[in-house]
Amino acid sequence: MVKQNSVKTNPWTAMLWGFLAFLLSGLLASVIIWRFDNYVLGTIITGALGGLLLGLFTRQRGSLSKFAMGGGFGMPIALFLTFALLEGLGSLIFRSDASVSISTVSDILAIILFGAFFGLIFGIVVYGKKAAGTFLLTGGLLAIPFGIFVGLMNANEGMQKSIEEVISLGGIIDLNFFAMALAIGLGAGLGVGLYASSKSK
């Protein structure tokens, strides 16, 4: 569990640091995924490097290994839990001939669950069980807009192609994966800021 230091972290500033940290790690991982077609390695790199950078940016001295482990373990485990849960729900709720609207809801739900699971794991690894609720909420809530974005994008082929032409760098960046990385970065950053602020009072 992280020892609290004298650094006071503004929640909103920490959220932006989280966004930047996982933006950078997500870009690097996207290149690796494109080059080696290995999403497992990509998730580990995104999580570990993103967590490490978040710790550096928020000046969490002596806690960098916890941040890296929280991200490195959190992202692949959260991805596995999300797919496992959705597979179970899918067999009960979503049929193979599901409409586009149901598929969109499934995409949105997947991103939200992924963000919540990542936040839960990251918070516990870095701060202990007492931080679980805070990071679960920030992870899930901050993932909502990204879930909506992914759901709408995947449901609209024209929209997807337009976005890919602008930011996919010639197909190097997987937009779904990149959106997930940014979502957990915001959630983890806000969680760090809120938890640090509550402990400094």
Per-residue pLDDT tens over the stretch 57-107 = 999 988 999 999 999 999 999 999 999 998 877 655 555 555 556 688 889
Of 194, 185, 198, 201, nearest in space to 67 by CA: 185
Residue 5 is predicted with a pLDDT of 45
Residue 93 is predicted with a pLDDT of 57
Residue 103 is predicted with a pLDDT of 80
Distance CA 46, CA 63 (A): 18
Domain boundaries, the chain: 11-200
Residue 80 is predicted with a pLDDT of 96
- Rounded to the nearest angstrom, the gap between the alpha carbon of residue 68 and the centroid of all alpha carbons in its chain is 14
Integer angstrom CA distances of residue 166 from 50, 64, 84, 163, 169:
24, 34, 33, 5, 7
Residue 95 is predicted with a pLDDT of 52
Residue 4 is predicted with a pLDDT of 46
Residue ranges of the chain with per-residue pLDDT less than 50: 4-6
Distance CA 63, CA 196 (A): 13
Residue 1 is predicted with a pLDDT of 52
Q: pTM for the full model?
A: 0.89
**How many residues can be counted in the chain?**
201
